[in-house]
Amino acid sequence: MDKKFFRKRTLALVGVFVLLMAINVASAGFVGFNPIKVIGDIPHGIVWMAQNFTPSLESFAKIDTILISLGKTILLSIASSCIAAIFAYMCAVIGSREAGLGGPFPLIIRGIASVFRNIPVVAWAFILMFSFKQSEFTGFLALFLGTFGYLTRCFLESIDEVAGGSVEALRATGAGFAPIVTQAIIPMSITAVISWTLYMIETNIRDATLIGILTGAGIGALFDVYYKSFRYDLAALVILCIVVAVIACEAISNYVRRQII
Amino acid sequence: MDASSLLHIEGLGKDYSSKSKALTDVSLSLARGQFVSVIGSSGAGKSTLLRCINRLIDPNAGSVVFDGKDVVAMGKRELRQARRRISMIFQHYNLVYRSTSIENVLQGRLGYKSTIAGVLGLYSEEEKERAFSILEQLGLAEFAYTRTDQLSGGQKQRVGIARALLQDPLLILADEPIASLDPKASQMIMEHLRWAVDTLGVTCLVNLHQVDYAIEFSDRIIALKKGHLVFDGTPNELDARAISDIYATPYVEEKVLQEPISETQEEKVLAAVGVA
């Protein structure tokens, strides 16, 4: 037994911790961030929030406006996620290394996915506003493009992970590309696809709020209006509704996931 | 090349990069209804050899004449037609695990289908009946409607064999079919393959890690070493010295493995695992 080995391990662990702390202190000093003062401010912030940022009884008079707006936003998120998922899946099947058409396709599809994925949804919203003005369609398109990039990447990984073996087997029987897609790739990857799509719907409902502030549509715009007119009680109600909606969505998608596996 | 020859490989070569050669100048001929094992250590080129025959891997040199036609020179459509008569069995079974056994077996017919029928999975009544009877022959009748991810390893591999047989193959390529199986299941799989050769007249080319199985079941054994064909003969000709040469192991070590060293129950189990 080598005693030095274990001491080395411990020292390495301590070293990494010290290094992280040092980086933290150095960067906080650089931007003038005072952690102690921030911690002291937290109770004050909570008190302010409790006083102003809670839904009042009268704010519930506006609940129907909020719910209609929230419903629109949720439906928009679902629509953009599902349509993006369809396009992403087609691209992923063509571009998969294990199962796809081969040739230049894997590289091209990966490149396209990477571009769409690495531009933030907010940036998409800003870019698209030039062409499509402040409208729901701008929000839809921004979510669509971001989701498309992200899902293409996820689907590529999923297909490569699960379908490789069965694709090879069917190729060896003399089957063509289209039958291989429907008989092997789709059945093998469908659970992962549904799971990822549900995850993107959840994420998009959250993101749609932010996009809505920019594009002046849906629940985000409503929040923006209330917030800027100092109706914090209404703004808080909006946030409460969004939180409930997202949690409900998550619960539903978890249930669906359990059923399909 | 005589009339009974099914597969004639001449000067086959494959290199994955300019430096390493997976196969170098491999030539061999397989007769119809022969059971041929390919042995050799990992990385000797056994899998590459098998995959060059149905062109899951494209060889760099040489020709593979299957049933009178050169597979290497074939276009896409022709290749798909040739692949219909060359079945393949895999170490990791390569089934569609979210589908049932019977669906997996029927997929052996996909090469014979039109694109539309293949895409929709439309099989004729006759094909379905044959698929069921093959499953029954392999002792899987009760698992026909079971999803294949719920089967044991041996059962999965039998589904793989059923899929291969439904292709009406002239040649079955088996890439380490028993490498992931326990001894009992291994024995059964090898017996099924032997049965296919004896009663259906199929030719079987099987990659094996287990020399004892190769000797027990084969009509002929081929050995690869670093991409070269180093042995081609009957199981009787494969003596201990030839084996030690193929695997580049000292001659003595082989003997130690075969001696029963078991005394207690635990040691017996260990010995069984070691020998198998």
pLDDT tens, residue by residue, B16-40: 877 778 899 999 999 999 999 999 9
Residue B204 contacts A, CB cutoff 8 Å:
no
* Contact at CB, B94 and A190, closer than 8 angstroms: no
Instruction: Give the residue numbers in A contacting B (CB under 8 Å), as ranges.
Output: 165-166, 168-176, 178-184, 187-188, 190-191
Contacts of A176 in chain B (CB under 8 A): 80, 115, 118
Write the residue in A169, A179, A191 that is nearest to B119 by C-beta.
A179
- Average pLDDT value for residue range A7-30: 93
The interface predicted TM-score (ipTM) is 0.85
Residue B213 contacts A, CB cutoff 8 Å:
no
With cut-offs at 50, 70 and 90, classify the pLDDT of residue A33. confident
Instruction: Write out the two tokens for A55.
Output: 């839904």
Residue B150 contacts A, CB cutoff 8 Å:
no
Contacts of A173 in chain B (CB under 8 A): 83-84, 87-88, 107-111, 163, 167
Q: Count how many pairs of residues, chain A against chain B, have C-beta atoms within 8 Å.
A: 91
**pLDDT tens, position by position, B73-118:** 999 999 999 999 999 999 999 999 999 999 999 999 999 999 999 9
* Contact at CB, B107 and A171, closer than 8 angstroms: no
- Average pLDDT value for residue range A98-123: 89
Among the residue ranges A121-125, A238-242, B48-52, B262-266, the one predicted with the least confidence is B262-266
Residues of A216-239 as b/e, b for ≥16 C-beta within 10 angstroms?
bbbbbbbbbebbeeebbbbbbbbb
Domain ranges of chain B: 33-40+76-220+232-275
The superfamily CATH assigns to domain A58-260 is MetI-like (1.10.3720.10)
pLDDT on residue B215 = 93
pLDDT on residue A56 = 83
Instruction: Write out the two tokens for A218.
Output: 């849906």
pLDDT on residue B274 = 54
High-pLDDT (> 90) share of chain B, %: 77
Work out the mean pLDDT of chain B and round it to a whole number: 88
Minimal C-alpha gap between A149 and chain B (Å): 27
- The rounded distance, in Å, linking the Cα atoms of A248 and A115 is 32
Exposure of A157 in the CB half-sphere (CA atoms within 13 A): 8
- Average pLDDT value for residue range A194-212: 91
- The rounded distance, in Å, linking the Cα atoms of B247 and B236 is 18
Among the residue ranges A196-205, B13-22, B183-192, B203-212, the one predicted with the least confidence is B13-22
Please, are residues A155 and A193 in contact by the beta-carbon 8 Å criterion? yes
Work out the mean pLDDT of chain A and round it to a whole number: 90
Contacts of B98 in chain A (CB under 8 A): 187-188, 190-191
* Contact at CB, B118 and A176, closer than 8 angstroms: yes
Q: Which fold has domain B33-40+76-220+232-275?
A: Rossmann fold (3.40.50)
